Homo-oligomer: A and B are copies of this chain.
Amino acid sequence: MLIDVKTPPQKNLSPLEVLSNDLSKDMACVNREILTRMTSDVPLINKIARHLIQAGGKRLRPLLTLSISNALGGNMSRAHGLAATVEFIHTATLLHDDVVDESHERRGKAAANDVYGNQASVLVGDFLFSRSFQLMVADGSLETLKILSDASAIIAEGEVMQLQMQRNLETGWDDYIQMIGAKTAALFAAACEVGAVVSQGESEIQNAARDFGYYLGLAFQIADDVLDYSAEQGQLGKAIGDDFREGKISAPVLLAYVASSDDEKDFWVRTITDGQQSETDFATAQNILKTYHISEQGLDMARTYADKALAALDTLPDSRTKHTLAQICEYVVTRNF
């Protein structure tokens, strides 16, 4: 493939869409792999898996594996399997998250736990999780197995950390970053690192790919947390205000609480710590955020991590894909997706 670093992405397309277009053949292979491997002899598993997979989602994590592998001239056939693995881990996590959070919407569709019950969601999550390990074994490399099994354990730790800091407005910013680092950024990092492993790059390149993923993951999650307070309903493909209603500790709440007046602090204690909410409270929360420009402040924090991701990317050789990945660093902190 001829690579022209200077080719600008087509107008009107987001860098994520450019990446998806450029790697559409590879993504098609990943989707085929996902569909093939999620099938089971147990009908209910197929039904729930299909419910989730058809809802689609951004496929951001597998796209990262493909991008890094592509940018480094890696073995794309291995990248397809590993990208599918990454998506399976992510989907299993989503299923269990929705049970834990009692969510009602996911990827713009009714959440699986609402349709099929918590029991099925827990068990099908376990199945997809096991399948992800079978896919890793099929890749046949202990190195990728280590990276992805480590990431899985860290994700679970991050989820438990999140549960532990729920409703605690005194949570420190560093603890929040550590939590989203585990819950979200670890899989972004692993997705990128395995993309480098199948390219047999030097350890410097591999580390850079992992760092890129990690910092991009932090930026992505902070922006995601901001959007849960500021996006228009329907824009995200999931309900907004969920974090508020669940008393989740996220960037906008932590930043707003610190900035708030005494009266406003009382509001946060009542709604978040005590979980006493009325129907108009989310609008009040949004207004407090507007008063103190919390969204902007949050996205600024996200940008500091996006900049670190960009810096890590420097180590990779130039390519059109690298160019688009660089644009994605900016995109995740301005996105409305």
Contact = CB atoms under 8 A, between A and B. Distances in A.
Interface in A143-195: 145-146, 149-150, 152-153, 155-157, 159-161, 163-164
A130 interface: yes
A96 interface: yes
Contacts of A137: 142, 145-146, 149
A157 B122 contact: no
Contacts of A124: 156, 160
A5 B122 CA distance: 46
B140 A44 contact: no
A123 B96 contact: yes
Contacts of A51: none
A330 interface: no
A157 B130 CA distance: 10
Interface string A99-143: 110000000000000000011101111110111011011001010
A131 B133 CA distance: 12
A149 B120 contact: no
Centre residue among A96, A124, A163 by max chain B CB count within 10 A: A163
Contacts of A96: 122-123, 126
A149 B126 CA distance: 11
Interface residues of A, number: 42
Nearest to A147: B137
24 contacts: A40-B157, A41-B157, A42-B157, A42-B160, A42-B161, A43-B164, A44-B163, A44-B164, A93-B126, A96-B122, A96-B123, A96-B126, A100-B119, A126-B129, A126-B156, A126-B159, A127-B153, A127-B156, A129-B129, A129-B156, A133-B145, A133-B152, A136-B149, A137-B149
Interface of A: 40-45, 93, 96, 99-100, 118-120, 122-127, 129-131, 133-134, 136-137, 140, 142, 145-146, 149-150, 152-153, 155-157, 159-161, 163-164
B127 A100 contact: no
Contacts of A129: 126, 129, 152, 156
Contacts of A120: 160, 163
A258 B43 CA distance: 26
A45 B153 CA distance: 11
Contact of A159 (B123, B155, B160): B123
A44 B129 CA distance: 22
Contacts of A159: 123, 126
B146 A130 contact: no
A168 to B, nearest CB: 13
A163 B123 contact: yes
Contacts of A160: 40, 42, 44-45, 120, 123-124, 127
A224 to B, nearest CB: 19
A130 B145 contact: no
A40 B155 CA distance: 12
